[in-house]
């Protein structure tokens, strides 16, 4: 199994290009189920999760092809509406095929995702919303079995979600594009990936207004058609590189980024002492000296993203002072704490709050990645730890970061992928 070897202490310098957003591309691939025409997506990152979604769709008879950063999907040959446990358990985002399958084919059988390393993550809001749109849903043998009963199509409805859910909003928005009449989703997720998906769907002929706000209105249409769409830049990958630059006291410019989607993250980096300049599609971060400790609280967009919490914790580990990190989205997203402690971090946890006391130095050790963003945090910590840090189980990292170690090497980091266990 691959692992990463990092020798810390090198300030990152230079420029790197940001990849397309995983969490936008995955849903757009599923949106390909809504039309029999071809959907061509560019700026699709090369990631394990994208491959998994491709396999899931291919299993249903969808033609999926990649040519460099462009992926085309064509679902005129759709012959199955099932998402099996084997695939769904490896990638929870698979749940986003549920809404499109129901809208397009009138039925779906999608495995319930089951438990997850970062929290319980139920899908009750997806199901409640689809039921409001007229779907009949039952749970059978671990699967969500959904159909339209005696109805020919889904029916538009007003849906108020109990909490803000990203994939829940996306599933309902996609389903509603082909429903009869108008759907309104209140308390919708405002994440930029939701707005990007809506823009892609509108390019396919959907009539969606308000995506990016907490009230999305969708006027159902009879059919969607093919389109070409360029996926937005990955704001979490961008943020992760920025934190890596900051922790090492580096000077890094990110190209092809979307600074407008990163306000909360850039604010916290400035508070930590980073100097940041940004244009329309680039960000430059310079950090001189030791970072200052910051307090932060994760919350739905536009507040600080839970997907950047672990990386900021790594920064806090070597900061000057004490910072409190409150995680409000997922109940178990502190798995990286025990690993950061193995590198010498001083972190205490009380419920959903972590108190991070900055230490003067971290020391390299063998650590284990537990989930995607936790892996990024360990790599970031390894970049400043004394001696060697080995990060194990990096298949988590490969799910969400394209060739992370190569791009860090390009910035001067001493990091390599190694295929065997160290002696």
35 touches 225 (CB < 8 A):
yes
The Cα–Cα gap between 36 and 226 comes to: 8
The SS3 call for residue 271 is: helix
- Provide, rounded to whole angstroms, the least separation between the CB of residue 368 and ligand EPZ: 17
Site for ligand EPZ in 321-340 (CB under 6 A): 329-330
Closest CA relative to residue 111, chosen from 145, 60, 149, 148:
145
For residue 123, state whether it binds ligand EPZ (rule: CB under 6 A): yes
For residue 125, state whether it binds ligand EPZ (rule: CB under 6 A): yes
The Cα–Cα gap between 356 and 344 comes to: 12
Q: Segment contacting ligand EPZ (CB under 6 A): 38-46, 164-172, 316-324, 349-357?
A: 164-172
Q: What angle do CA 341, 346, 347 make, to 5 degrees?
A: 85
For residue 400, state whether it binds ligand EPZ (rule: CB under 6 A): yes
31 touches 25 (CB < 8 A):
no
Q: Which of 62, 101, 166, 231 binds ligand EPZ (CB under 6 A)?
A: 166
Closest CA relative to residue 401, chosen from 240, 230, 229:
240
Closest CA relative to residue 70, chosen from 96, 88, 52, 43:
43
The SS3 call for residue 269 is: helix
Binding mask 278-307 vs ligand EPZ (x if CB under 6 A, - otherwise)? ----------------------------xx
For residue 373, state whether it binds ligand EPZ (rule: CB under 6 A): yes
Handedness of CA 31, 37, 40, 44 (dihedral sign): positive
Enclosing H/E stretch for 24: helix 22-31
Pairing of strands 82-83, 136-140: unpaired
175 touches 102 (CB < 8 A):
yes
For residue 124, state whether it binds ligand EPZ (rule: CB under 6 A): yes
* Active-site residue flag, 317: no
**Of 106 and 119, which CB lies nearer to ligand EPZ in the complex structure?**
119
For residue 163, state whether it binds ligand EPZ (rule: CB under 6 A): yes
- Provide, rounded to whole angstroms, the least separation between the CB of residue 210 and ligand EPZ: 18
- Provide, rounded to whole angstroms, the least separation between the CB of residue 222 and ligand EPZ: 29
Closest CA relative to residue 345, chosen from 335, 354, 356:
356
Q: Which of 35, 72, 111, 165 binds ligand EPZ (CB under 6 A)?
A: 165
Q: What angle do CA 206, 209, 215 make, to 5 degrees?
A: 130
- Provide, rounded to whole angstroms, the least separation between the CB of residue 378 and ligand EPZ: 14
Closest CA relative to residue 28, chosen from 126, 174, 129, 154:
174
Q: Name residue 209's beta-bridge partners.
A: 217
For residue 89, state whether it binds ligand EPZ (rule: CB under 6 A): no
**Of 192 and 249, which CB lies nearer to ligand EPZ in the complex structure?**
192
For residue 29, state whether it binds ligand EPZ (rule: CB under 6 A): no
Site for ligand EPZ in 55-74 (CB under 6 A): none
- Provide, rounded to whole angstroms, the least separation between the CB of residue 364 and ligand EPZ: 25
**Of 112 and 355, which CB lies nearer to ligand EPZ in the complex structure?**
112
For residue 338, count other CB atoms closer than 10 A to its CB: 14
The one catalytic residue in 58, 116, 163, 288 is 116
Q: Which of 61, 122, 181, 279 binds ligand EPZ (CB under 6 A)?
A: 122
Binding mask 236-275 vs ligand EPZ (x if CB under 6 A, - otherwise)? ----------------------------------------
**Of 81 and 161, which CB lies nearer to ligand EPZ in the complex structure?**
161
The Cα–Cα gap between 237 and 17 comes to: 10
**Of 10 and 370, which CB lies nearer to ligand EPZ in the complex structure?**
370
For residue 121, state whether it binds ligand EPZ (rule: CB under 6 A): yes
Q: Which of 28, 372, 380, 415 binds ligand EPZ (CB under 6 A)?
A: 372
The SS3 call for residue 61 is: coil
For residue 86, state whether it binds ligand EPZ (rule: CB under 6 A): no
For residue 387, state whether it binds ligand EPZ (rule: CB under 6 A): no
Q: Which of 3, 8, 23, 109 binds ligand EPZ (CB under 6 A)?
A: 23
**Of 310 and 365, which CB lies nearer to ligand EPZ in the complex structure?**
310
Q: Residue 106 is encoded by which pair of tokens?
A: 């009138």
73 touches 228 (CB < 8 A):
no
Closest CA relative to residue 183, chosen from 210, 158, 151:
158
The Cα–Cα gap between 415 and 405 comes to: 6
Residues annotated catalytic, as ranges: 116
Residues in contact with ligand EPZ by the rule CB under 6 A? 23, 26, 92-93, 119-126, 163, 165-168, 189, 306-307, 329-330, 372-373, 400
């Amino acid at each position: 199994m691959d692992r990463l070897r990092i020798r810390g202490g090198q300030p990152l310098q230079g420029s790197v290009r940001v990849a397309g957003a995983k969490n936008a591309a995955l849903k757009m691939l599923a949106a390909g189920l809504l039309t029999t025409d071809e959907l061509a997506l560019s700026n699709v990152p090369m990631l394990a999760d994208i491959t998994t979604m491709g396999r899931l769709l291919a299993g249903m008879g969808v033609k999926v092809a990649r040519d460099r950063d462009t992926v085309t999907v064509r679902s005129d040959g759709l012959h199955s509406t099932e998402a099996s446990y084997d695939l769904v358990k490896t990638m929870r985002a698979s749940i986003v095929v549920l809404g499109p399958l129901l809208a397009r084919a009138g039925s779906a059988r999608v495995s319930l995702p089951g438990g997850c390393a970062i929290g319980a993550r139920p899908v009750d809001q997806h199901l409640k919303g689809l039921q409001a749109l007229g779907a009949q849903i039952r749970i059978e043998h671990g699967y969500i079995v959904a159909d339209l009963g005696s109805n020919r199509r889904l029916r538009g409805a007003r849906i108020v979600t109990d909490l803000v859910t990203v994939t829940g909003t996306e599933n309902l928005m996609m389903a509603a594009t082909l429903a009869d009449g108008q759907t309104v989703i209140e308390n919708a997720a405002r994440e930029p990936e939701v707005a990007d998906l809506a823009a892609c769907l509108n390019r396919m002929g959907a009539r969606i207004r308000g995506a990016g706000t907490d009230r999305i209105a969708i006027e159902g249409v009879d059919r969607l058609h093919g389109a070409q769409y360029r996926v937005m830049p990955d704001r979490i990958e961008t943020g992760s590189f920025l934190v890596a630059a900051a922790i090492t006291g580096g000077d890094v410019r990110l190209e092809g980024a979307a600074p407008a989607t990163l306000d909360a993250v850039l604010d916290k980096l400035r508070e930590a002492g980073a100097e940041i300049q940004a244009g329309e599609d680039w960000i430059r971060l310079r950090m001189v000296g030791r970072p200052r400790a910051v307090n932060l609280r994760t919350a739905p967009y536009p507040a600080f993203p839970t997907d950047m919490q672990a990386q900021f914790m790594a920064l806090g580990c070597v900061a000057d002072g004490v910072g409190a990190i409150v995680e409000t989205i997922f109940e178990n997203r502190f798995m990286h704490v025990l690993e950061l402690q193995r590198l010498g971090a001083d972190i205490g946890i009380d419920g959903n709050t972590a108190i991070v006391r900055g230490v003067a130095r971290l020391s390299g050790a063998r650590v284990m990645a537990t989930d995607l963003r936790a892996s990024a945090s360990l790599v970031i910590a390894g970049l400043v730890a004394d001696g060697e840090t080995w990060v194990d189980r990096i298949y988590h990292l490969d799910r969400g970061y394209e060739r992370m170690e190569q791009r860090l090497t390009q910035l001067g980091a001493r990091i390599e992928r190694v295929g065997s266990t160290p002696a």
